[in-house]
Structure 1
């Protein structure tokens, strides 16, 4: 064992211990919920069912409802409590219930931040009743939302050139494979691999404390996934607030950029990533590209609405967050986004149209070579040969609308159609989805195998006669397209999706797929029934979708990134000449 390895392990263990201790001091009740949510899905579901097995309004039952991501039910149980103990009061904040004076300053401060009341947060920062570490954390979080760049890290000046004909790019990412599997990390891996294959030298640095912060303690300082190096920033003592974390990240980005002799820095959603990359780019005089893949402020507001907040989109936190995202996109040398709907939104918010390029979700070209019928694919998986199968490979979160798919299958089976379903994936809504499948008596015909390695997930995709993307109607789902749509098309499977602008860019009704009103299981059932009854139509829609997907291979899209880096270099040089 080399001397570096025990030191790295000690540092990671120290970082994990400090992080857990801080969470235990700040909010021990919520720490237990988060720990339960990280348990394997079946254990998580079992814990939730045991905790909520009776109609009791006890704190344990409230904890179970939050574990199962059911804030509405948690609030209902809380409303029936005659007296609330310390655990119930702590959990009530996360269930969407404003704390009373008995909750103390810490509970009021956590509540104010959770609901986005920045005015109240700032007022409470001077309250001695708020624990010191929580005050420091909230102060750093608020500071990061204030307009303007973060300080540039102190590093030696750049002593290498920035020849754009041979780009060397350092990417700032929130998380990555192999420890997090999501649409974000899959796109990151695909983009970086494609850039490598196109002759662009790449390296990436993930956010401070990741992956220690998600429980992956004894990991390496660099993970190499299919040739792509993901560097880690794991300080032993993590700054409590976002501002301090960004500054640490910027310093590490600058060091990695020097080691990589980078020609460009490339950040990817959301504003902390952009701030760190902006600061490092300023320190080294490098062009900076920012990629907007999502709108996490809208995702946050959607979640808060589910938690009971009446107007999260009008909150100070949402307004400041949204302004921060627009400010940073406008400040980058060039911006990449993933759909025309998102490009239009960015331009509306002040980004120059000529400085925004669309690089849509793509596919591995190998998907186009997959040639297996659903029947043969099901036989290989040991699935029943009977019936027609619909489903998705998806994150199992509330806005994906997967409960509507379960309802649609139940409706069709009640009409005598032998339709079966499968959803491959995991997420906070998995226990509730499983409960719904069981309540409708579909456990034998609607399968939930959970999260699977990619080759196995693709085998399940092959087994479907049609892929369904029944997303709910939220502001974020109207703008952000998921990766799974174009992947389903590339694999030769027809797609039925919710009629939302981001999905309608890809799914052209009657040509590359079908669209149905979101939140309407009956309409979804009708569309599924019509497509599954007409095999010729199914094959025609699948073929047209595959043609669309063939124009979106990651290899082709890598050339767009090369053009983006050329434009960013010219933009950066112009700004430096102007003295900005």
Structure 2
């Protein structure tokens, strides 16, 4: 049985879009007959044993904590993780190392792969220098930004095969001069077996929140600046002029939470804006049941133009109506008027107009939901998408480990 060791930044039991994608990949590979494990670097910030099984998946931890000045600290992290991979390979002998961004893990996998004589696959889920800009911890063009990109370029050049999660990321790599023939796409996906019929409206929760029969626009996720929730709050007052009584439900939290709450208090529609704070993962479905339209008003930036988010796909898989800004990442997932509604990014008036039009066309929702769910089944089902990896693994294992192969088959 082929063994794949996934090299990760962090993993379950932590909950994030990153860990949920990892879980989906590993579960689908297990179902396809592969033997898989994960190993995390020093940034997995969760208490637990050195080897941990979560939801039937095995994860190994790299001991220690990041230390030292910027630059030296990262090289120490790479060295620690590379040593941990080599040590694990002495007892659990993988056939392929599959590293996932950021580049710290990719570089560690390259070092370990050379020492062990194993092929290395590197997968980019986002450019982490752009993600840092998006979440307010970095600045475009800064020294750290350029160093992060340079390190990633080294990993890409050294890997035996490459994957990205979407066309935006792949096209950007090609523009840097990398061969598109060895960069495959493993798009964000969902495990359709987890989604049945959407749950009926949770009347008890609606009563608790003071909701009646009004239309509800909702967002469930992390409150980062690039998510554009300030535009959604600004759009609500305009929307209520065309669709009186409409409410906005914001579920989650994050760096922008206090600023968004302050903005909401100043809004003429303040009484119709509801913040729940973070809710337990097991409770999220209750809030989904109250939402008529899930809105994703991301602002335009390199991050949002190049990266496809997971949340809209999960909503579409659950046969929910979605509306999103027309940034590149959303355009890869949603066809306007067919599988959802797109509206101009960074434009509260355009957002309000699009949402008002969608609320007026409720008779079209069932067909839109069906098309959206079918789109996900045809293009984003992990049970199908996982085959893209297997084809590349087989090519790598059939050739010498230092030859770069095409990932585009």
**Does TM, scored on the shorter chain, surpass 0.5?**
yes
1:204 aligned partner: 38
Given candidates 206, 224, 241, the residue that maps to 1:382 is 206
Point out the more displaced range, 560-569 or 226-235: 560-569
Show CA shifts across 1:28-50 (max 9, x none): xxxxxxxxxxxxxxxxxxxxxxx
**Deviation of residue 469 (structure 1)?**
0.8
Note the residue ranges of structure 1 that are not aligned, 5 or more in a row. Answer: 1-165
Point out the more displaced range, 238-247 or 545-554: 238-247
Structure ranking higher in strand proportion: 2
Show CA shifts across 1:448-473 (max 9, x none): 22333333223322332111110011
Given candidates 48, 72, 79, the residue that maps to 1:247 is 79
> Looking at both structures, which has the greater relative contact order when contacts are Cα pairs under 8 Å and sequence separation is at least 6?
2
Q: Does 1:567 align with 2:395?
A: yes
Q: Does 1:292 align with 2:120?
A: no
Structure ranking higher in helix proportion: 1
Contact 1:286 1:572 in 2 (8 A): no
In the superposition, relative to structure 1, how do residues 231 and 443 fare at CA in structure 2: closer, same or farther (>3 Å)?
farther
In the superposition, relative to structure 1, how do residues 537 and 236 fare at CA in structure 2: closer, same or farther (>3 Å)?
closer
Task: Please tell me whether Structure 1 or Structure 2 has the larger radius of gyration of its CA atoms.
Answer: 1
Distance in 1 between residues matched to 2:2 and 2:177, nearest whole Å: 28
**Deviation of residue 572 (structure 1)?**
4.4
**Deviation of residue 209 (structure 1)?**
5.3
1:220 aligned partner: 49
Given candidates 152, 161, 168, the residue that maps to 1:334 is 161
**Deviation of residue 389 (structure 1)?**
1.1
**Deviation of residue 400 (structure 1)?**
0.5
Show CA shifts across 1:181-224 (max 9, x none): 2211111111111111211111111111532xxxx45x322332
2:407 aligned partner: none
Show CA shifts across 1:224-245 (max 9, x none): 2211122221227855511112
SS at structure 1 position matched to 2:222? coil
**Deviation of residue 173 (structure 1)?**
1.0
Q: Does 1:325 align with 2:159?
A: no
Show CA shifts across 1:447-502 (max 9, x none): 22233333322332233211111001111110001100111110111211111122
1:488 aligned partner: 315
SS at structure 2 position matched to 1:314? coil
Point out the more displaced range, 383-392 or 473-482: 383-392
Show CA shifts across 1:342-387 (max 9, x none): 1111222233222111111111213542244xxx324253342321
Provide the aligned C-alpha RMSD in A: 2.2
1:514 aligned partner: 341
Note the residue ranges of structure 2 that are not aligned, 5 or more in a row. Answer: 405-409
In the superposition, relative to structure 1, how do residues 408 and 190 fare at CA in structure 2: closer, same or farther (>3 Å)?
same
1:268 aligned partner: 100
TM-score, normalising length: structure 2: 0.90
In the superposition, relative to structure 1, how do residues 445 and 439 fare at CA in structure 2: closer, same or farther (>3 Å)?
same
Distance in 1 between residues matched to 2:243 and 2:374, nearest whole Å: 34
Contact 1:364 1:553 in 2 (8 A): yes
Given candidates 353, 375, 386, the residue that maps to 1:558 is 386
Contact 2:324 2:330 in 1 (8 A): yes
Q: Does 1:170 align with 2:2?
A: no
Distance in 2 between residues matched to 1:454 and 1:565, nearest whole Å: 34
Paired residue total = 397
Distance in 2 between residues matched to 1:507 and 1:418, nearest whole Å: 27
Show CA shifts across 1:492-520 (max 9, x none): 11211111122111111111111111111
1:193 aligned partner: 27
Contact 1:392 1:468 in 2 (8 A): yes
Distance in 2 between residues matched to 1:541 and 1:237, nearest whole Å: 48
Given candidates 275, 292, 301, the residue that maps to 1:448 is 275
Contact 1:396 1:427 in 2 (8 A): yes
In the superposition, relative to structure 1, how do residues 357 and 459 fare at CA in structure 2: closer, same or farther (>3 Å)?
farther
Contact 1:326 1:350 in 2 (8 A): no
